[in-house]
Chain A
């Protein structure tokens, strides 16, 4: 029986966005087909993984997540350098946990100094992620934008409520922005339009659809991301043709399923491996839906995801 491989009719392309500006800058996006549908189109820039660094020692992380960073969790610079040197990080994502008004509530100036130190110490692109508190993020990220004005950072999350003030600072100091919306394709499109109207260049924007892990609603982000890709690639929706970034690690490791010890629930198996797999398998699901940048934590989870990306892109 004659068999012809069916092909999707694509009409659009994801924009290629350059992150960072040194020799270690990376380009993401550029897809002309659904994720890894290489028999239909191209993925010129394979998905990248950004490694998390926190600006304060993490609390209540399971042992498995702490272990790879023993000795550096109190020093963001050393932590970032370890990620690059020991674990081959191509991008660093500095999570500004210390600025959370419900936590340490560290001031903007002090937080920005830490960002500057990390930015000065590394040559890979740096993502700076706030706490999604609009007032605080506005204050902190604006200060960061100014203090690190020659660094081409990636700043996020920008939400509808704070996109103007943070967006303006990003435009002024030439940083890329992360447009963040709560699991909704229409809100995502709207925020991209608003940022465009504000003056954010198309080459300076990535989208965060808000993600969650296996067991915590990953199916919602999976379908929203699939719909975004469908609109971008087959319906010429230019305002959704941006790379997608997924802040998945912290969503995984905070779940109770990543923390339960085997002795307390033998059916759940080895706690360390389970934590790693929950992170890596969640990342796998997001990759298939269209993730371009995955913010991840555990080096072994990252290794597994990298292998899958390599295997899926093999000729």
Chain B
């Protein structure tokens, strides 16, 4: 059973030395109880207390790593049910299924998709660098050969899927240096797969028919000394799989139920034959708690929305995404094209640049660093006023790109136009629309 803050406090040195970075031992104890601090931060805790506390101080959903190096996939470590309470920590891995029954050409084509289908957004690269290799042939040598082919042709992290221990073992040994996830240990093979996971140092997925069986299975794996565990509730209907995801997260966080305190893996690929529906199911799992989502294939039209949704849901609600300061050229502008200025809140940037693109009017957009705040908020905070905007624009190099000296400012900061005309001698300051959706008629009527 998890300990309460007071119970933990009794085991701490009670010196209030602050070495852990928290003002008092009691506050540190409370943070431990809430799963928001690590015991290792306390340098003075006794060995006896350590062992008693290790249970209570472990994160409620254990962190798991699949793969090696910079591009390893980190899962778990989640602490909240709702993203506004803190933030979701580790975005789900999105995997493409590759079978050992596929031709080499098909395998290579799929690996190419993993590599090519990446997207730039707000200075980040969105990618799904994960492959799920499924042993369908039943042939251990064939499966090992597939693992070898993928290893040689890709740096993607791997999941190895087989219900036969000898086949799984052949794959695991072929790919052990890449630390793949082994799927799956079941109640029938738990001892053998646990031994294989220990031997190869790989993470292991536990799969069962329901949550009760799953809990006893993870108990068994944990007792065998395994910590890198991912769980598969076995559900392959939308209803049951959704419910399992919610219940697993809630049991781990709200009841501190250790046996389900692991990241999950789900299989939209096995829940429908319709790729569009599969994308919908995956969209549900991105929001509702999946650790790994296995897709039957990658297609740009569905992978792109899914990766962007993942970025959105896993954005820290306390820290808005920001766009880089600078001049953005939209629709191939020339020296007679209009110049606009806006804030660097990424949403502002997306909406304004999107509307400019829609207008088809060649334009320059200068994005000012406002620490990720929107136009209104940054203006109210004094970070988007004439004395800040003027020097930034004058130093931006835009004067080499345009012949005219006219600057369009957002309608919401119309009050800055006087100040800007003083700070930018010789410039005409024009007040644009308040709402980006009114930019098209404005830009079409604009004259240099």
Contact = CB atoms under 8 A, between A and B. Distances in A.
A and B interact physically: yes
Interface of A: 1, 3-6, 8, 36-39, 60, 102-103, 214-220, 222-223, 226-227, 230, 254-257, 262, 266-271, 273-274, 276-278, 280-281, 284-285, 288-289, 300, 304-305, 307-308, 311-315
Nearest to A262: B300
A217 B301 contact: no
B219 interface: yes
Contacts of A217: 312, 347
A244 B212 CA distance: 36
B347 A214 contact: no
Count class of interface residues, chain B: 35 or more
Contact of A267 (B254, B279, B300): B300
A277 B281 CA distance: 11
Interface string B274-315: 001101110110011000000000011111111011001101
B304 A311 contact: no
B305 A278 contact: yes
B212 A269 contact: no
Nearest to B249: A6
Nearest to B310: A214
B215 interface: yes
15 contacts: A1-B215, A39-B243, A39-B247, A215-B305, A218-B309, A220-B347, A269-B300, A270-B300, A280-B279, A281-B305, A285-B313, A288-B287, A311-B238, A312-B284, A314-B238
Nearest to A219: B312
A73 B261 CA distance: 53
A273 B302 contact: yes
Given A214-B312, A311-B239, A3 B251 contact: yes
A140 B251 CA distance: 52
B213 to A, nearest CB: 10
A194 B358 CA distance: 38
A217 B436 CA distance: 15
A288 B279 CA distance: 15
B280 A1 contact: no
B193 interface: no
A14 B17 CA distance: 49
Nearest to B118: A267
Contact of B259 (A1, A8, A60, A223): A1
Given A1-B215, A256-B358, A304-B280, A274 B301 contact: yes
Contacts of A278: 305
Nearest to A216: B350
B354 A5 contact: no
Given A1-B215, A39-B247, A60-B358, A284 B301 contact: no
A65 B257 CA distance: 48
B446 interface: no
B82 interface: yes
A278 B307 CA distance: 12
Given A5-B251, A223-B82, A300-B276, 18 more contacts: A1-B215, A3-B259, A216-B351, A223-B83, A267-B116, A267-B119, A267-B304, A268-B301, A269-B301, A276-B276, A277-B301, A285-B287, A304-B277, A307-B280, A311-B237, A311-B238, A312-B239, A315-B239
Contacts of A280: 276, 279-280
Given A39-B247, A102-B438, A308 B308 contact: no
A281 B358 contact: no
A8 B251 CA distance: 11
Given A6-B255, A285-B309, A269 B237 contact: no
B302 A314 contact: no
Contacts of A289: 287
A262 B299 CA distance: 12
Given A6-B251, A102-B441, A219 B354 contact: no
Interface of B: 82-84, 116-119, 121, 211-212, 215-216, 219, 237-239, 242-243, 246-247, 250-251, 254-255, 257, 259-260, 276-277, 279-281, 283-284, 287-288, 299-306, 308-309, 312-313, 315, 317, 347, 350-351, 354, 357-358, 433, 438, 441
A35 to B, nearest CB: 10
Nearest to A268: B300
A285 B310 CA distance: 11
Given A256-B354, A312-B242, A273 B237 contact: no
Given A254-B358, A266-B300, A273-B276, A308 B284 contact: yes
A280 to B, nearest CB: 6
B147 to A, nearest CB: 27
Nearest to B82: A226
Please name the 3 residue pairs, one residue from A and one from B, whose CB atoms are nearest each other, closest first.
Answer: A269-B300, A269-B301, A311-B238
B319 to A, nearest CB: 12
Given A1-B259, A217-B347, A285-B283, A308 B306 contact: no
Given A39-B247, A280-B280, A308-B280, A255 B354 contact: yes
Nearest to A217: B347
Q: Which of A3, A257, A284 has the most CB of B within 10 A?
A: A3
B277 A307 contact: yes
Given A5-B247, A222-B287, A267-B119, A274 B305 contact: yes
B216 A1 contact: yes
A103 B444 CA distance: 13
A219 B259 contact: no
A217 B317 CA distance: 11
B215 A308 contact: no
B242 A36 contact: yes
Contacts of A6: 247, 250-251, 254-255, 257
A256 B347 CA distance: 14
A200 B284 CA distance: 35
B82 A215 contact: no
Contacts of A4: 255
Contacts of A269: 299-304
Contacts of B357: 256
Nearest to B356: A256
A4 B259 CA distance: 12
